[in-house]
C-alpha cells in the first residue's frame, strides 16, 4: 500500500515537472508581452508581469495589420478544412458504395500519391502555375492546392466499411438517393471523425508558413505566421521583444482555443482509428 | 461486403474534384520539377538550356552536402531523443492517478503551436542578452554561448525548439497506442512476477512498435519538411549555413537566387527520400493512416 502511494506521488511529480518545463517558454513569452521596453532589457530578467500590456498588443496589432492577417489565417484554415472534409467524404463514398467502376484502382492510387508529394517537391512549378492563373496574392492560391486529402479519404473509407450493409439496403428500400444516403446517414454517423479531421486540418493550415511566404506579396494577403516574421524583421539591433511577443501570443491563441474546445473529438477520432 | 448503389456517372462526379486537384496541383508540378532538373532556366523562366545531369552533379558541392548533413543530424536528434522523451512521458501519463485527464491536456497543447511561433518564442528564451534560458544557463555554467554566432549551439537551440513543438503530437499518439494494449496481458504478466522493466521490454514496447514506426516516419518528415518556418524565423539558415536544412536551401536557391533547375534537382532528391519513407510506411504499418 505504502509503495503504491509513493509510486503515485512520483507520477504526479514527474508530470507536474514536465508540464512546467513544457509550459515555461510560453508563460515567459506572455510575461514579456506585458512588459515595457525597459523591463525587457533588465538583467537578471524579470519574471513578473509589466504594465504595458495594452500598449504592446495595440502596437503589434497596428504594425502589421494584425486584424487582417488573423482574418486571412482563419479564413483559409476554415476553407481548407471544410474543403478537404467535403472532397474526402465524396471520394470515400465513391470508393465504398459503388461497384468496380472503370478506373477505380487508378483513382485510388492517384489520391494516395499525395503522401509522396509534399509541397517542397513541387513548389517551383506550382508557383509558376499560380502566376499563369494570375492567382498570386489571392485566396485561391492559398486554399485550392490544399483541397485534396489522402488522409481524409482513408479515414472515411475505413469508417464506411464498418457501416452495416443492412443500413444501406433498408435506406434503398425506402427509396433514398445515393446523395441522400451520404448526407442523411453517413455524414451524421461520421460526426466524431469529421470534427477530429476539422481540428487536424485547421491546425495544419493555420500553421503553414512556406507556401504563404512564397505566394503572397501584398501586406493585405499575408497570414499571421508571416506577420510574426514581419514583426521580427522590423527590428534594428535591440529587438522589441515585448511587441513581438504580443504578436506571437495573438498568432497562437486561435489554434490553442480550438484545440481546447475540440480536444475530446481529437482523442475519440484517433482511438476509433486504432480499432481496426 | 458493402451493399452497393447502382450508378455509372455518380462515382466519377464524386471523385472528380479530388482527382482534378491532385493531378493539376500535385502530379503535373512534380513531373515539371523532374523536367526542370535537366535544364538551366533563366531567372524569368523564358529560356531553357538542356544541361543533362549538371544540376545533379552540382549537388555534390560542399554547400549542398553541408545542408544534407545538417538535416540528418537535426532530424536524427528529433527522432531519437524526441521520441524517447515523449514515450517516457506517455508511459507516465498512462498511469491511473487522480486528475490524469487534466495532466494529458496540459501535455498535448504544444501540438497547436506552429513552427514559426515556436521559433519566435525560443529566440526570445535564448536571446543572448535578455533571454530567460540564457540567464539560467549562465547562472549554472558561468558562460553563455551565443547561438546567433555559434553554429553548433544554433543547431542545438533549433533542435530543442523543434522537439518541444512536437511533444504534444507524439504524446497523443503514444497514449493512443498504449491504450490499445490489452489490460489482461499486463495483469497476467504481473501475476507471473515480471518486473516493470521486463514488462516494458517484452510486452509494451513490442505491441507499441507499429505506433513507434508511424511516429518515427512522421517525425522524420517533420524534421525534413515542416521546420522551414522555425528556421526562417530564428536563423535564416545561419550563422554561416550552420542551420541551412535542405528545405531552406531549396527555398533559397529556388526563390531568392532563382536557380530553378538546380532547385528542381534538389526537389528530386527530397522526392526519392519521401517515396522511400512512404513505401516503408505502407509495407510495415498498413493499418496506420498518415496525418500531416
| Least confident among B136-140, B182-186, B205-209, B225-229 | B182-186
Q: For residue B290, what is the nearest residue in chain A, using CA coordinates?
A: A151
Q: How far is A87 from chain B (nearest CA, A)?
A: 6
Give A-chain residues touching B173 at CB under 8 angstroms: 270
pLDDT of res. A274: 41
Report the gap between the CA of A226 and the closest CA in chain B (Å): 8
User: Which set of grid coordinates corresponds to residue A2?
Assistant: 505504502
Question: Which chain B residues contact residue A84 at CB under 8 A?
Answer: none
Q: A49 CB near a chain B CB, below 8 Å? A: no
Q: Does A70 touch chain B (CB under 8 A)?
A: no
Average pLDDT, chain A: 90
**What is the spatial distance between Cα A250 and Cα A67, in angstroms, rounded to a whole number?**
10
Q: Measured between CB atoms, which of B135, B232, B270 is closest to A44?
A: B135
Residue A182 has pLDDT above 80, yes or no: yes
CA distance B266 to B251: 10
Q: Quick one: cell of B245? A: 536544412
Q: How confident is the model at residue A1 (pLDDT cuts 50, 70, 90)?
A: low
Q: Which residues on B lie below 8 Å from A113 (Cβ)?
A: 22, 26-27
Residue A273: per-residue pLDDT = 46
pLDDT of res. B186 = 79
| % pLDDT > 70, chain A | 94
Which pLDDT score, from 0 to 100, does residue B290 have?
42
Contacts of B233 in chain A (CB under 8 A): 228-229, 232
Q: Is A160 on the interface with B (CB under 8 A)?
A: yes
Could you tell me the pLDDT band of residue A91, with boundaries at 50, 70 and 90? very high
Per-residue model confidence (pLDDT) at position A19: 96
Q: Would you give the end-to-end CA distance of chain B in angstroms?
A: 30
Q: Is B11 within 8 Å of A94 when comparing Cβ atoms?
A: yes
Q: What would the mean pLDDT of B172-197 be, rounded to a whole number?
A: 83
Which positions in chain B touch A117 (Cβ < 8 Å)?
26-27, 30, 271, 274
A207-225 residue pLDDT tens: 999 999 999 999 999 999 9
pLDDT tens-digit series, residues B110-135 = 999 999 999 999 999 999 888 899 88
Q: Inter-chain contact B117–A252, Cβ cutoff 8 Å?
A: yes
Task: List pLDDT tens digits, range A31-67.
Answer: 999 998 888 888 888 898 988 999 999 999 998 999 9
Strand positions, DSSP E, B152-286: none
Contact between chains at B2 and A160 (C-beta distance less than 8 A): yes
pLDDT at A271 over 80: no
Give the one of B45, B112, B124 whose C-beta lies nearest to A29's C-beta. Answer: B124
In this predicted structure, what is the pLDDT of residue B2? 58
What is the predicted pLDDT for the residue at A184?
A: 92
pTM of the model: 0.92
Flag whether pLDDT at B36 surpasses 50. yes
pLDDT at B283 over 90: no
Q: What pLDDT, on a 0 to 100 scale, did the predictor assign at position B7?
A: 79
pLDDT tier for residue B286 given thresholds of 50, 70 and 90: low
A198 touches chain B (CB under 8 A): no
Inter-chain CB proximity A93 and B292 less than 8 Å:
no
Contact A156, A89 (CB under 8 A): yes
- A51-85 burial code (b ≥16 CB/10 A, e <16): ebbebbbebbbebbbbebbbebbbebbbbbbbbbb
Residue A34 grid cell? 506585458
Nearest to B275 among A96, A110, A116 (CB): A116
| CA of A215 vs chain B CAs: smallest distance (Å) | 11
Per-residue pLDDT tens over the stretch A132-154: 999 999 999 999 999 999 989 99
Residue tagged 489565417 (cell numbers): A73
Report pLDDT for B161. Answer: 96
Whether A211 has its CB under 8 Å from any CB of chain B: the answer is no
Nearest residue to A93 (alpha-carbon basis) of A148, A172, A147, A157 = A157
In a mutational test of the A interface, the residue from B32, B84, B120, B213 whose CB has the highest number of chain A CBs within 10 Å is B120
B166/chain A closest Cα distance in angstroms: 11
Tell me if B172 and A270 make a contact (CB, 8 A cut-off).
Answer: yes
Q: Which helix (H) or strand (E) holds A61?
A: helix A53-63
**pLDDT tens per residue across span B216-275:** 999 999 999 999 999 999 999 989 999 999 999 999 999 999 999 999 999 999 999 999
More confident residue, A60 or B44: A60
Spatial separation of the C-alpha atoms in residues B12 and B6, rounded to whole Å: 13
Across the interface, whether the CB atoms of B21 and A144 are under 8 A apart is answered yes
Amino acid at each position: 500500500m505504502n509503495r503504491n502511494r509513493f509510486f503515485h506521488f512520483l507520477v504526479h511529480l514527474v508530470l507536474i515537472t514536465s508540464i512546467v518545463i513544457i509550459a515555461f517558454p510560453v508563460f515567459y513569452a506572455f510575461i514579456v508581452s506585458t512588459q515595457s521596453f525597459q523591463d525587457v532589457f533588465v538583467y537578471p530578467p524579470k519574471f513578473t508581469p509589466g504594465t504595458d500590456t495594452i500598449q504592446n498588443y495595440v502596437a503589434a496589432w497596428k504594425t502589421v495589420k494584425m486584424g487582417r492577417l488573423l482574418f486571412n489565417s482563419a479564413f483559409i484554415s476554415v476553407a481548407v478544412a471544410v474543403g478537404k472534409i467535403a472532397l474526402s467524404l465524396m471520394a470515400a463514398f465513391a470508393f465504398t458504395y459503388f461497384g468496380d467502376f472503370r478506373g477505380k484502382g487508378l483513382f485510388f492510387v492517384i489520391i494516395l500519391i499525395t503522401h509522396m508529394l509534399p509541397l517542397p517537391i513541387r513548389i517551383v512549378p506550382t508557383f509558376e502555375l499560380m502566376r499563369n492563373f494570375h492567382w498570386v496574392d489571392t485566396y485561391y492560391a492559398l486554399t485550392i492546392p490544399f483541397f485534396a486529402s489522402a488522409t481524409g479519404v482513408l479515414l472515411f473509407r475505413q469508417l464506411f466499411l464498418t457501416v452495416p450493409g443492412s443500413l444501406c439496403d433498408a435506406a434503398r428500400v425506402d427509396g433514398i438517393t445515393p446523395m441522400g444516403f451520404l448526407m442523411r446517414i453517413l455524414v451524421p454517423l461520421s460526426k466524431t471523425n469529421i470534427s477530429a479531421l476539422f481540428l487536424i486540418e485547421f491546425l495544419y493550415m493555420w500553421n503553414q508558413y512556406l507556401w504563404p511566404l512564397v505566394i503572397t506579396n501584398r501586406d493585405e494577403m499575408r497570414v499571421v505566421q508571416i506577420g510574426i516574421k514581419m514583426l521580427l524583421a522590423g527590428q534594428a539591433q535591440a529587438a522589441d521583444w515585448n511587441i513581438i511577443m504580443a504578436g506571437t501570443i495573438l498568432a497562437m491563441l486561435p489554434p490553442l482555443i480550438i484545440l481546447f474546445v475540440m480536444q475530446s473529438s481529437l482523442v475519440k477520432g484517433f482511438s476509433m482509428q486504432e480499432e481496426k | 461486403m458493402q451493399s452497393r448503389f447502382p450508378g455509372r456517372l455518380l462515382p466519377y462526379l464524386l471523385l472528380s474534384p479530388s482527382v482534378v486537384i491532385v493531378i493539376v496541383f500535385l502530379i503535373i508540378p512534380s513531373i515539371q520539377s523532374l523536367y526542370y532538373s535537366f535544364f538551366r532556366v533563366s531567372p524569368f523562366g523564358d529560356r531553357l538550356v538542356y544541361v543533362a545531369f549538371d544540376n545533379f552533379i552540382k549537388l555534390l558541392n560542399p554547400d549542398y552536402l553541408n545542408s544534407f548533413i545538417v538535416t540528418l543530424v537535426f532530424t536524427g536528434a528529433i527522432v531519437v531523443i524526441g521520441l524517447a522523451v515523449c514515450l517516457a512521458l506517455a508511459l507516465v501519463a498512462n498511469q491511473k492517478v487522480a486528475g490524469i485527464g487534466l495532466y494529458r491536456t496540459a501535455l498535448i497543447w504544444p501540438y497547436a503551436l506552429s513552427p514559426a511561433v515556436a521559433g519566435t518564442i525560443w529566440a526570445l528564451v535564448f536571446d543572448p542578452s535578455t533571454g530567460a534560458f540564457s540567464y539560467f544557463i549562465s547562472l549554472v555554467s558561468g558562460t553563455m554561448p551565443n547561438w546567433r554566432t555559434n553554429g553548433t549551439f544554433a543547431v542545438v537551440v533549433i533542435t530543442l525548439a523543434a522537439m518541444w513543438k512536437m511533444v504534444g503530437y507524439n504524446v497523443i499518439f503514444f497514449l493512443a497506442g498504449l491504450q490499445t494494449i490489452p489490460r489482461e496481458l499486463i495483469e497476467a504478466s504481473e501475476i507471473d512476477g515480471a518486473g516493470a522493466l521486463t514488462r516494458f521490454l517484452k510486452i509494451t514496447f513490442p505491441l507499441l512498435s507499429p505506433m513507434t514506426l508511424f511516429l518515427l516516419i512522421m517525425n522524420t518528415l517533420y524534421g525534413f519538411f515542416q521546420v522551414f518556418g522555425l528556421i526562417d524565423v530564428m536563423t535564416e539558415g545561419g550563422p554561416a549555413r550552420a542551420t541551412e536544412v535542405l528545405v531552406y536551401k531549396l527555398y533559397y536557391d529556388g526563390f531568392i537566387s532563382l536557380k530553378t533547375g538546380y532547385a528542381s534537382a534538389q526537389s528530386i532528391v527530397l522526392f526519392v527520400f519521401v517515396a522511400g519513407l512512404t513505401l516503408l510506411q505502407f509495407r510495415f504499418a498498413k493499418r496506420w493512416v498518415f496525418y500531416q
